[in-house]
Amino acid sequence: MKRKLKKIVKELLRKAGLLKSVRRVSYRIRTGKIGYLFKAAAQFEYQILTKKIIFSVADPYSAAFVDYYLLNKTYEPEAVELLNANLGDNDVFVDVGANIGYFSLVVGARSSAIKIFAFEMGSENVQIFNKNLALNNLKNIEVHQVAVADFTGKVFYEDSAVGNAVLKIMTDNKENNPDVVVVESVTLDDFFRERTEKPTVVKIDVEGAEMKVLQGMQQLLSTNIKLLIEIHPKDLIGFGSSREEVLQYLKEQQFQIRPVASSDRKNDLVFAWK
C-alpha cells in the first residue's frame, strides 16, 4: 500500500512539473551539512594513498564522499587498496559506471603510464568528471558518455534530480516518462575490438546491470583480465538476474572469486581473476 501511494504521489508531482524540485529540496535537507560546509568553496583537496587529488564541489551533489574527507578517511578504502595492488605502469584500467570519476582519478593520479577508459551515461556526472580532470591536469583518462550494456545501440535512463545520484539503465520508456533520457550503449567487446589497448583491470558498478556488462564482454573475459564488481542484489532482480547468476557466470568463465570486505558498502563487492 505504501509503495502504491508513493508511486501515485510521484506521478502527480511529475504531471505538475514539481517532481525534480521536490527531489532537490529533499536531497538538500538530507545532505545539508555538506552544502553548508562547502557552499563557499569551489573545490577541495583529498589525499588518497600518497597522492593529493582535487575534486570540484561547485555542484553540491558532486561530493558524495565529502563526509569521508571531513573525517580524514578514504572513501571505499578496500577497493582503492585492491586497485592499487593490481594496477601497474602500462596497465589499462576500465571504469564502468564511473560517476564523477573517483576511482579513475585515484588510479590516474597514481601513474600517468596507466591508460584509463571511463564510461558514465549521466550527463551531469560527466560534466563534473571533466571538471575534476581539468583540476588535476590528468591526460591519461578518456571519458565516454555512454552506457555499457550487452548490446551496442541505445538505452534509456531516468534523469536524476540530484546530480550524481544513482542512475539505472532501462530498455524502454513505455510509460512515456518525460524525465527519461536516451543514451548510446556499447558493449566492451565492441568498444575494444579495433583498439590496440586491451583492458587488464575492469571496475563495474552499474546498479543491477552487472550481467548486461559481463555478457557484453565475453571476448575480453577469455583473456587474463581482472574484475572488481559491485553486486547489487536488489537491483539485479529488476533486470531478471541475481547475485547467484553473476557469480555462477564468472565461475563458468573460469574466474576465481574473492569477496572484498567493506565497512561502508550496502552491496557486495567481489574481486575476480584467472
172: domain CATH number is 3.40.50.150
19-28, 116-125, 219-228, 245-254: range with lowest mean pLDDT: 19-28
Rounded CA gap, 37 and 141, in Å?
30
Residue 27 lies in a domain: no
Rounded CA gap, 117 and 145, in Å?
11
Average pLDDT value for residue range 125-151: 94
Residue 22 lies in a domain: no
**What is the length of the chain?**
274
Total of domains in the chain: 1
H or E stretch at 148: strand 147-148
Residue 49 lies in a domain: no
Residue 95 lies in a domain: yes
Average pLDDT value for residue range 177-181: 77
Residue entry with cell 589497448: 197
Average pLDDT value for residue range 194-214: 96
Q: How far is CA 174 from CA 4, 8, 78, 178, 180, in A?
A: 19, 17, 40, 11, 10
Rounded CA gap, 167 and 266, in Å?
16
The answer, yes or no, to whether residue 60 has pLDDT greater than 60, is: no
Residue 68 lies in a domain: no
% of the chain with per-residue pLDDT over 90? 55
Average pLDDT value for residue range 141-149: 97
Residue 228 lies in a domain: yes
Say what the pLDDT of residue 49 is. 83
Cα–Cα–Cα angle for 10, 11, 13, nearest 5°? Answer: 65
Per-residue burial over 131-162, b = 16 or more CB atoms within 10 Å of its CB, e = otherwise: bbbebbebebbebbbbbbbbeeeebbbeebbb
Residue 61 lies in a domain: no
- Containing structural domain, residue 190: 76-273
Average pLDDT value for residue range 41-62: 77
Residue 66 lies in a domain: no
Average pLDDT value for residue range 235-256: 96
Say what the pLDDT of residue 35 is. 52
Average pLDDT value for residue range 244-249: 98
Say what the pLDDT of residue 66 is. 60
What backbone torsions phi and psi does residue 191 show, to the nearest 5 degrees? -60, -40
The answer, yes or no, to whether residue 22 has pLDDT greater than 90, is: no
